[in-house]
C-alpha cells in the first residue's frame, strides 16, 4: 500500500474515528498531548495511537511531545510526557519520575458486642483444660528446658548443580542472554539506549528502527555485550514502515547468534520470555504469555511522519523503556518476535503518560523481521509489500480504498476507488490499520484474495517496492 488514514484506529483496542478522511498509507499525524490540568483518562481516548519508546524527540515543534504508546525512554518531557531522547546537543543522563505513593486504609475497629460472651467461653474452656492438663499448661508458660534451634546455625544446602530444566525460563535465559546486547545511541541532538540481538558470528545485530534512527546520519552506536565488552557499530539499513533495522558491529568475530523460531504458528496463552535492557539494566529477563495475535498497532512514525503499522504479537511479559529491539522468545529459546512498543495510558494531573509496563506490550513477528533483515543485509535496503491504494476506515466497518496508483497491484487486480475490503483470505478486515498490517506482514509477489463489502472477491498479487533510504 502507499496510502493510509492518519486517524486510522486500532480496531482491537476499540479506537474508532468514523469521520476520518482518507489519507496516505505511511503518513501519520502525531497526537496532541492533553493540556495541563486536564482530567486524567482511565482508558485510551478516541484516536489515541501507539508510539515508540526510543523515538527521538528532536528540537522540532512537530515532535515536541511523546505519544502514549512507548517502549523506550523515561525522560520527562513537556507536559509530563516521556522524552526518551532529551534535546541536548549532546548526551543527557536520563531522569525518571519518582514512584507513586500508596496509602494503606486503616483496619476496621472491632465490634464491642459479643466479645464478652466469647471471652467467657474461652475462659471456661481454659479452666477445663487447666483442670485436666495442668502439666501441659505449665510447660507452655514456664518455658522448655530443651535446646533451642537457630536457622543461622544450620549448614548451607548443597550447591545447585546440573543444567537448567529444559523448557524453563532459566534455560531460555541461559541460552539467549549471551546473544542480547545493549545499544547505546547518540545523535546530534539526542541520545538514548535500547536492545538488540546477534544474527551472525561476524556482528550483524537486529533491532528496532526507532532505537537507532537518531544515529542514522552521522551519529554513534555502541554495542555492550553480556560480558561487558563494548564495540562500535553502524547502521546497515532500516525500515521505518516496519520499525526494523540491522546494525553491524565492527571488528568482532565469534559472537553467539540467536536461534530464530517462527511466528505463524503461535498460540494465545503460550509462555514467552523477554530479554533486554530496561532503564539501562542490561540482561534483564521477564516472562509472560502471548496475550493476543495479529494486533494491528499504529505506533507513530519517523521524522518524515511515515506511518508504522505492526501486525503485532501482544504479550504481558514485562517490557519497559530500553527493552525495545530485544528478543521475545518461546520456551525453546527461539526468538519469535522483536519487542517494540508498550501501551502507556494517560494518568495523573495533566494526562501525563505512564512510563513503564502495564502488562500490554507489542512485538514484531519474527517471520516479517526475518524477511526484512535478509533484504537489508543482502541489498542495503528493505522491501515494502504494498497494493498501491489510499485507504481509510469505512464508516460501516472495513477499509475503504481511495485513489488507486496507475499500474499498481490494486489496479491490475481491478480494485476501484470506493471499494470496501472486509476480508483478506480468512482474516477479517475491520479498519484501515488492519488492512495495512495484513498486507505488510506478507511477502511481495504473494497472492491474496480480497473480499469486498458487496460480496465480490478479487485476487491480488502483492507488490514490492524499496523503502527509501534516509
Residue labelled with grid coordinates 519469535: 336
CB distance 329 to 261 below 8 Å: yes
Q: Does the active-site annotation cover 210?
A: yes
Contacts by 267-273 with C-beta closer than 8 Å and gap 24+?
A: 268/292, 268/293, 270/330, 270/331, 271/330, 271/331, 272/315, 272/317, 272/328, 272/329, 272/330, 272/331, 272/336, 272/337, 273/169, 273/172, 273/173, 273/176, 273/317, 273/328, 273/329, 273/330, 273/331
Name the active-site residue from 5, 239, 243, 433.
Answer: 243
Cell of 332: 525453546
CB distance 238 to 246 below 8 Å: yes
Name the active-site residue from 5, 7, 210, 302.
Answer: 210
Reduced to 3 states (helix: H, G, I; strand: E, B; else coil), residue 37 is coil
Angle among Cα 407, 408, 411 to the nearest 5 degrees reads 80
CB distance 179 to 258 below 8 Å: yes
- In DSSP terms, 238 is beta-bridged to 245
Q: Does the active-site annotation cover 243?
A: yes
Instruction: Please give the helix or strand (H or E) that residue 377 lies within, else none.
Output: helix 366-379
Counting Cα atoms < 13 Å in the Cβ hemisphere of 191 gives 14
Of 311, 295, 289, residue with least CA distance to 369 = 311
Measured on CA atoms in the order 227, 228, 231, 236, is the torsion positive or negative?
positive
Alpha-carbon separation of residue 344 from 72, 144, 353, 361, 435 (angstroms): 11, 58, 6, 9, 24
User: What is the DSSP-derived secondary structure letter of residue 271?
Assistant: E
Question: What is the DSSP pairing of strand 399-404 with strand 427-428?
Answer: unpaired
Cell of 261: 523460531
How far is Cα 275 from Cα 286, in angstroms, rounded to an integer? 7
Name the active-site residue from 277, 282, 324, 408.
Answer: 324
User: What is the DSSP-derived secondary structure letter of residue 108?
Assistant: P
Measured on CA atoms in the order 287, 293, 295, 299, is the torsion positive or negative?
positive
Angle among Cα 405, 300, 397 to the nearest 5 degrees reads 60
How far is Cα 55 from Cα 399, in angstroms, rounded to an integer? 28
Residue labelled with grid coordinates 524477511: 371
The residues annotated as belonging to the active site are 210, 243, 324
Amino acid at each position: 500500500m502507499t496510502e493510509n488514514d492518519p486517524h486510522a484506529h486500532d480496531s482491537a483496542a476499540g479506537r474508532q474515528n468514523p469521520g476520518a478522511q482518507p489519507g496516505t498509507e505511511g503518513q501519520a499525524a502525531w497526537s496532541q498531548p492533553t493540556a495541563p490540568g486536564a482530567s486524567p483518562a482511565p482508558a485510551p481516548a478516541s484516536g489515541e495511537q501507539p508510539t515508540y519508546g526510543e523515538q527521538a524527540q528532536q528540537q522540532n515543534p512537530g515532535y515536541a511531545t511523546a505519544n502514549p504508546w512507548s517502549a523506550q525512554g523515561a525522560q520527562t518531557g513537556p507536559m509530563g510526557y516521556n522524552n526518551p531522547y532529551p534535546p541536548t546537543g549532546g548526551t543527557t543522563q536520563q531522569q525518571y519520575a519518582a514512584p507513586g505513593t500508596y496509602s494503606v486504609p486503616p483496619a476496621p475497629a472491632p465490634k464491642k458486642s459479643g466479645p464478652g460472651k466469647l471471652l467467657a467461653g474461652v475462659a471456661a474452656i481454659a479452666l477445663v483444660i487447666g483442670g485436666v492438663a495442668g502439666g501441659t499448661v505449665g510447660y507452655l508458660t514456664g518455658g522448655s528446658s530443651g535446646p533451642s534451634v537457630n536457622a543461622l546455625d544450620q549448614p548451607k544446602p548443597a550447591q545447585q548443580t546440573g543444567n537448567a530444566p529444559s523448557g524453563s525460563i532459566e534455560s531460555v535465559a541461559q541460552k539467549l542472554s549471551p546473544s542480547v546486547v545493549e545499544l547505546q545511541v547518540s545523535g546530534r541532538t539526542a541520545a538514548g539506549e535500547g536492545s538488540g540481538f546477534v544474527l551472525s558470528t561476524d556482528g550483524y545485530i537486529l533491532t528496532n528502527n526507532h532505537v537507532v534512527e537518531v544515529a542514522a546520519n552521522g551519529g554513534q552506536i555502541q554495542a555492550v555485550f553480556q560480558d561487558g565488552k563494548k564495540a562500535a557499530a553502524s547502521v546497515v539499513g532500516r525500515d521505518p514502515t516496519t520499525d526494523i533495522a540491522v546494525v553491524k558491529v565492527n571488528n568482532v568475530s565469534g559472537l553467539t547468534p540467536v536461534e530464530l523460531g517462527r511466528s505463524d504458528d503461535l498460540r494465545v496463552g503460550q509462555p514467552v520470555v523477554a530479554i533486554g535492557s530496561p532503564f539501562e539494566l542490561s540482561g534483564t529477563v521477564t516472562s509472560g504469555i502471548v496475550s493476543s495475535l495479529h494486533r494491528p498497532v499504529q505506533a507513530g512514525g519517523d521524522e518524515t511522519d511515515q506511518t508504522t503499522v505492526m501486525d503485532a504479537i501482544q504479550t504481558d511479559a514485562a517490557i519497559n523503556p530500553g527493552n525495545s529491539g530485544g528478543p521475545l522468545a518461546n520456551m525453546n529459546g527461539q526468538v519469535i518476535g522483536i519487542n517494540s512498543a508498550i501501551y502507556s495510558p494517560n494518568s495523573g494531573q495533566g494526562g501525563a503518560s505512564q512510563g513503564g509496563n502495564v502488562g500490554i506490550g507489542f512485538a514484531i513477528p519474527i517471520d516479517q523481521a526475518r524477511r526484512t533483515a535478509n533484504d537489508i543485509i543482502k541489498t542495503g535496503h528493505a522491501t515494502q509489500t504494498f497494493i498501491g491504494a489510499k485507504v481509510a476506515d469505512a464508516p460501516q466497518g472495513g477499509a475503504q480504498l481511495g485513489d488507486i496508483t496507475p499500474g499498481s497491484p490494486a489496479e491490475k487486480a481491478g480494485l476501484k476507488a470506493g471499494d470496501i475490503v472486509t476480508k483478506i483470505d480468512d482474516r477479517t478486515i475491520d479498519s484501515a490499520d488492519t488492512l495495512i498490517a495484513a498486507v505488510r506482514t506478507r511477502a511481495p509477489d504473494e497472492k491474496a484474495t480480497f473480499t469486498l463489502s458487496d460480496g465480490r472477491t478479487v485476487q491480488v498479487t502483492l507488490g514490492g517496492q524499496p523503502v527509501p533510504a534516509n
